Amino acid sequence: MADKSAQEHIFDIHDRCVNLAWGAALYSTFILTKCNLIELQEAFVHPPKIMAMPDTKGQKWIRSAFGSEVYEAMNRDYVYLGCSDMGKSVQAVLTNHEDAILQVCGSPFRAVNVRAWETKHEARDFGPSAWDQDGLAPGHLKLMIYLEGLGGDIGSLELVDLGFIVGPKGLAVIFQNSVITHRAIPARSGGTRPVIEITL
């Protein structure tokens, strides 16, 4: 297996080639079809809860140098969900909204990871709720799907230079998550806000 520096070099070359052929990726939003939204909402009803931890059981490639206090804080403010039963619904979104995604990516794309969680309204300025860039190799983008929408009491997404992102149920946001500094704004009232993250 290639070392990390070699992998980063390969991604950098790939990103430059994609930008030359199709242009640099953009930022955009779109709204899921009603059918896609309903399918994802149903997939969110009974998914297994999982804990954020430095070495996730069954996923031996996941490693982290964070201390236990970081994972305690993440599990306190966010409810992480298993995604194994969401595959069909996520694939339907990528297929049905391929044109909208291609307009942002500017090139063919592939989903490489899916995560799902619920942000508690009392989430502190930490993790997804703190300003950050995700540190992925060049060429990756984040597709965020907000089942309950964004804005007002349900909270928002804030991107540097783009401001607060708001929209209705089924809002999808695509952006360069390792280039654009961003943070989640938790809901102002009780309950949790469900979100699905697809790495492209």
The answer to whether position 18 is within a domain reads no
The total number of structural domains in the chain stands at 1
pLDDT score at 88: 92
- Looking up tokens 């999808």 gives 172
> β-strand 78-81 against 49-50: which pairing, if any?
antiparallel
Instruction: Give per-residue pLDDT as tens, 52-67.
Output: 765 554 444 445 566 7
Model confidence pLDDT, tens digit, residues 70-119 = 778 777 788 888 888 888 999 999 999 999 998 888 788 899 989 898 88
192 occurs within a structural domain:
yes
Q: Does a structural domain hold residue 57?
A: yes
In a domain, 91, yes or no: yes
Task: Assess if residue 164 is contained within a domain.
Answer: yes
Q: What is the number of residues in the chain?
A: 200
Domain-located, residue 42: yes
Residue 67 belongs to some domain of the structure? yes
Residue 145 lies inside a defined structural domain of this protein: yes
Residue 108: give the domain boundaries: 24-199
CB distance 169 to 117 below 8 Å: no
For residue 114, what is the domain's CATH number?
A: 2.60.120.620
The pTM for the full model equals 0.84
107-138 tens-digit pLDDT? 888 999 898 988 887 777 777 788 888 888 88
